[in-house]
Structure 1
Amino acid sequence: MARITVLGATGFAGGWIAKEAAARGHELTLLSRSAPQDAPAGARVLQGSALDGDVLAQAIDGADVVVGALSPRGDMAGKVLGVYTEVAERLAGTDARFLVVGGFGSLKGEDGVRIVETPAFEPAYKPESEELLAAYEALAATPDLDWTYISPAGEFGGYIEDQTRRGAYRTGGEQAFFDADGRTAISGPDFGLAVVDEIEAAAHVREHISFAY
């Protein structure tokens, strides 16, 4: 059993990761600005902002794994990078791991260019994708830190109607991959499954990986 802290526990990714971790008996600490409506039984819930250094320190103190599932949107736009940098600095030199849920835009296409840097990338989502890419670069530049940066598939989020748990997924590196129909998708529950599998196996330390069907 691991002591897992989830930052952004009321978000789409963070919520599914927390549910999967709880179902497997891990000890959870959930940090969110709003109280989770369906927090897993037994979870330690901290209501506050990750921008508050004291609250952040309380949330990650004693954790074996910290999962960053914050979205750089709304009043968090431009601030998530700072939070993740602080977490990385606090965890560096310890045995704790830091897993960050990034964006599809951080992945590379077949030409080796980051998807967020291509002309086809939706401009409305570019700022948040660029911030998450900057977070990846900050992790990679932090010495003595056990990190894993995880990009979900291109079709991922609460806006997708089909959130079926298939109990299966594929793991890739930092190049985007697609299924036989040319789609890149994964449901919330299967993404949570994949992330907790990585927490337990620690198979991709200091790597950028991706999950999709």
Structure 2
Amino acid sequence: MSRVVIFGGTGYAGGNIAREASSRGHEVISYTRSAPSEPLEGVEYRTGSLASPEVLATAAADADVLVVAVHGADVDGAPLVSYVPQLIEAARENGARLSFVGGAGSSLVAPDGPRLVDTPDFHEDWKPEALSHAEVLEALRQAPEDLDWFYVSPAALFGSYSPGETTGSYRTGGDVLVTKEDGSSEISGSDFALAYVDEIEKPAHSRQRFTVGH
């Protein structure tokens, strides 16, 4: 079993990952700005932000796998990508695998592109978050070769506003958005977490991004 440390472990994606990992017997530690009102059994909750060097050092020292499931455009007043160098260094120093819950916007809509965020129908209000997560992915791709990382992009419809159906299954893509035959693209939080923890247990995408959908 692994020690899984999650930044953003009470959010939609992070909470589902915490629940799934804990249910499989992993040791789960969640960092958030405040304690949850409904804590999950088997999860240790700590308060703190990855923006704090002290918090990050402690978290990385405790982790086999470090999960970053936070807002891409604003982490304590700065974009997430600005903290990626510190996250990379902390993971390397402690031999932790670094992973990110990414956005769908950087996914390609076809093997040759474009990215979803660059398509005409992509909502303008979503672009800052999508582009911020895309910058994180590019920073990881430039990381030193001794860093083991993975980055998971969900389907286009993913979040508390669109909880979807728990099916107990999922499909993966490389950089291409996972869609159904009718062109729709969605994944429930529970099935996204299933894919995420499967990757923790049986690494198949070392130093890669992969997409997940129903």
Matched residue, 1:113: 114
Pairwise CA distance, 1:29? 1.0
**2:151 counterpart (122, 125, 149):** 149
**Structure 1 residues 96-124: Cα deviation after superposition (integer angstroms, max 9, x where no partner):** 21111111001112242222123332111
Matched residue, 1:68: 68
TM-score by length of 1: 0.93
Pairwise CA distance, 1:157? 0.3
* Paired residue secondary structure (1:81): helix
Larger mean CA deviation between 33-42 and 13-22 belongs to 33-42
Partners of 1:54 and 1:76 in 2: CA distance: 15
Pairwise CA distance, 1:21? 0.3
Matched residue, 2:102: 102
State the Cα RMSD in Å: 1.7
Mapped contact 1:77–1:128 kept (Cα < 8 A): no
| Alignment of 1:54 onto 2:54 | yes
Partners of 1:73 and 1:137 in 2: CA distance: 15
Pairwise CA distance, 1:75? 5.9
Larger mean CA deviation between 3-12 and 64-73 belongs to 64-73
Instruction: Give 1:38's aligned amino acid.
Output: E
Instruction: Give 1:126's aligned amino acid.
Output: K
Matched residue, 1:21: 21
Partners of 1:38 and 1:197 in 2: CA distance: 25
Going from structure 1 to structure 2, the CA distance change for 1:56 and 1:75 (only over 3 Å counts) comes to closer
* Paired residue secondary structure (1:92): helix
Aligned pairs for 1:116-127 (under 5 A) are 116-127=117-128
Larger mean CA deviation between 94-103 and 133-142 belongs to 94-103
Going from structure 1 to structure 2, the CA distance change for 1:203 and 1:75 (only over 3 Å counts) comes to closer
Structure 2, unaligned runs of 5 or more: none
Matched residue, 1:6: 6
Aligned pairs for 1:71-82 (under 5 A) are 71-73=71-73, 76=76, 78-82=78-82
Pairwise CA distance, 1:84? 3.0
Pairwise CA distance, 1:77? 5.8
TM-score by length of 2: 0.92
Q: Share of identical aligned residues, percent?
A: 42
Matched residue, 2:178: 177
Partners of 2:93 and 2:31 in 1: CA distance: 23
